[in-house]
Amino acid sequence: MNINEFNRSVDMFSDNIYRFILKHIRDEDKAKDIVQESFIKLWDKVKEVSFEKVRSYLFSTAYHTMIDAIRKDKRISYLDDVSQEDMYYNEGGYNNAKEILNEAIKKLPDDQRAVLLLRDYEGYSYEEIGGITGLTEAQVKVYIYRARVFLKKYIVRMDLVI
């Protein structure tokens, strides 16, 4: 890959990677850092990665960088890190279906959330998701199925509450 192709890949994929990471970790600053770190890693291997494979490489790198950040944050968690809004009951309830869906997605295990977001929000195939996450295609299908079943049950329960 040459410099022009690298710059094109930044223009083409940075927003998609940012949205994927942000949807997963819900922290704008960390998401920006992960996207930037992914492009730095690409720059380090610019001679080895072909332009045709850059999308897959970037999403895979961003995914693994995000997992590393999540693991690091889990080791360094303190009560002070809990936001004030998490400590109070939301008396107003949910305003719309998007809020309910986002709340349900937050409750998914990390692996299920990642494959679901890659499939339903980013439009990747099962094979591409397997390449990004390091899972087999069968594992990807199982995780997506389990995530969708959970979301369906969660949303139905929320309908009864609302």
CATH (domain of 64): 1.10.1740.10
Q: Number of folded domains in the chain?
A: 2
Say yes or no: 16 and 82 in one domain: yes
- Look up residue 44 and give its two tokens: 């380090």
Say yes or no: 64 and 125 in one domain: no
Say yes or no: 128 and 152 in one domain: yes
Query: What is the model's pTM?
Result: 0.58
Q: What is the dihedral of CA 109, 24, 140, 8, to 10 degrees?
A: -170
- Burial grade of 32 (CB within 10 A; 0-12, 13-18, 19 or more): middle
Instruction: Write out the residue range of the structural domain in which residue 153 sits.
Output: 94-162
Say yes or no: 154 and 111 in one domain: yes
Say yes or no: 2 and 40 in one domain: yes
pLDDT for residue 86: 43
Say yes or no: 69 and 15 in one domain: yes
- Look up residue 45 and give its two tokens: 């291997």
Question: What distance in Å separates the CA atoms of residue 68 and residue 77, rounded to the nearest whole number?
Answer: 15
Question: What distance in Å separates the CA atoms of residue 46 and residue 89, rounded to the nearest whole number?
Answer: 49
Q: How far is CA 68 from the centre of its chain?
A: 13
If you ran DSSP here, which 8-state letter would residue 120 be given? I
Per-residue pLDDT of the chain (162 residues; tens, 9 = 90+): 888 999 999 999 999 999 989 888 888 999 999 999 999 999 999 889 889 999 989 999 999 999 888 877 776 554 344 444 443 334 445 556 777 788 888 888 888 998 998 888 888 899 989 988 889 999 999 999 999 999 888 877 655 555
